[in-house]
Chain A
Amino acid sequence: QKEVEQDPGPLSVPEGAIVSLNCTYSNSAFQYFMWYRQYSRKGPELLMYTYSSGNKEDGRFTAQVDKSSKYISLFIRDSQPSDSATYLCAMSGAGGSEKLVFGKGMKLTVNP
Chain B
Amino acid sequence: NAGVMQNPRHLVRRRGQEARLRCSPMKGHSHVYWYRQLPEEGLKFMVYLQKENIIDESGMPKERFSAEFPKEGPSILRIQQVVRGDSAAYFCASSPWGGRIADTQYFGPGTRLTVL
Contacts and interface: CB of A to CB of B under 8 A. Distances in A.
A49 B42 contact: no
A75 interface: no
Interface string A78-112: 00000000001010000111111111110000000
Contact of A45 (B33, B40, B107): B107
Interface of B: 4, 31, 33, 35, 40-45, 48, 56, 58-59, 91, 93, 95, 98-110, 112
Interface of A: 4, 6, 8, 32, 34, 36, 41-46, 49, 51, 88, 90, 95-105
Chain B, interface SS category: loop
Given A43-B91, A102-B42, A104-B42, A96 B106 contact: no
Contacts of B108: 43
Contacts of B105: 46, 97, 100
A34 B89 CA distance: 21
Contacts of A100: 33, 35, 43, 45, 93, 105
Contact of B110 (A6, A43, A51, A99): A43
A102 B105 CA distance: 13
Given A43-B110, A44-B91, A97 B99 contact: yes
Contacts of A41: 112
A73 to B, nearest CB: 18
B101 A44 contact: no
A94 to B, nearest CB: 10
